[in-house]
Amino acid sequence: MPESPTPLFDEHLPGGGLWSAVIRRHQVLRLTDIEGGANVSLMAWNAAAPLDRLNLPDTLKAQYTARLTRGHVLMGDMGRVLLSITSDTAGWHDPLGGHSDAGEVLQKYGERSYQEARNDWHRNAHDNFLVEMGKHGLGPRDLVANVNFFSRLDADDDGRLSFHSGNSKAGDSVDLRAEMDVLVVLTTCQHPLDPNPAYAPKPVTLTTLSGPPPAADDFCRLFRGENQRAFTLTERYLA
């Protein structure tokens, strides 16, 4: 049996929240959907050189997929692996839908200011991303396409997208193993295509774990030839 990662600490992030951290190489960030129906929008950069950043087109075309689950890796735009999805109980995470901005949140949910509602105010994912990115010296030019963990969109033959309700259940979790030091920025706003007319973003638990390096027969490494080559390029870069 492969060695299991060891939990170091937990953090609770309410719905609508924002968070960032550098996940050290071979550490695991575990996202847990506490109530079911959570959405975690996530972007990532090589912490040492943020021009090397999450690239979803490279990620999706290399793995011939428009959904993400265990075995897939999130690739940067320099041919390297940033994060590997080493465990997943939800089975489908959305790389297509992006995230909402202030205008869309206002249009969909109406206005609720901080003045009026304190920390129950309406937050939007775009501003949350910019705030957390700014803390690490990043700005609007560093924005990339994001993943929406725990959410699923279905596409019909004409490419029309529909939100798949009930994709993630209470207790579902996904493990992201860093393959280099990775800056992760995430926010727990609702999925932009979630048809629920109420502003009701869900909380998650964020667990940081220490873990072993990926073995020679690691599931994500061997998932496809493309993944093996991306691991080789990552290991050469860090050699």
Determine, following the binding rule CB under 8 A, whether residue 55 of this chain makes contact with another protein: yes
| Contact call for residues 66 and 155 (beta carbons, < 8 A) | yes
Q: Considering only CA atoms, which of 73, 20, 3, 2 is closest in space to residue 11?
A: 20
Q: Considering only CA atoms, which of 23, 168, 2, 33 is closest in space to residue 83?
A: 23
Q: According to CB under 8 A, which one of 158, 195, 198, 239 is a site residue for another protein?
A: 158
| Shortest distance (Å) from residue 227 CB to another protein | 8
Distance separating alpha carbons of residues 189 and 16, to the nearest angstrom:
4
Distance separating alpha carbons of residues 119 and 127, to the nearest angstrom:
15
Cα–Cα–Cα angle for 195, 198, 203, rounded to 5 degrees: 95
Q: According to CB under 8 A, which one of 6, 11, 48, 66 is a site residue for another protein?
A: 66
Q: According to CB under 8 A, which one of 132, 142, 172, 175 is a site residue for another protein?
A: 142
Chain residues 70-89 in contact with another protein, contact rule CB under 8 A? 75, 77-80
Residue whose CB is less far from another protein, 68 or 182 = 68
Determine, following the binding rule CB under 8 A, whether residue 127 of this chain makes contact with another protein: no
Q: Classify each residue of 207-227 as buried b or exposed e, where b means 16 or more C-beta atoms within 10 Å of its C-beta.
A: bbbebeebeeebbbbebbebb
Q: Interacting stretch for another protein, rule CB under 8 A, among 2-10, 12-20, 49-57, 210-218?
A: 49-57
Distance separating alpha carbons of residues 155 and 151, to the nearest angstrom:
13
Determine, following the binding rule CB under 8 A, whether residue 144 of this chain makes contact with another protein: yes
Determine, following the binding rule CB under 8 A, whether residue 92 of this chain makes contact with another protein: yes
Q: According to CB under 8 A, which one of 22, 106, 143, 222 is a site residue for another protein?
A: 143
Residues forming the site for another protein (CB under 8 A):
51, 55-58, 60-62, 64-67, 75, 77-80, 92, 96-99, 101, 103-104, 139-146, 154-161, 192-193, 226, 229-230, 232-233
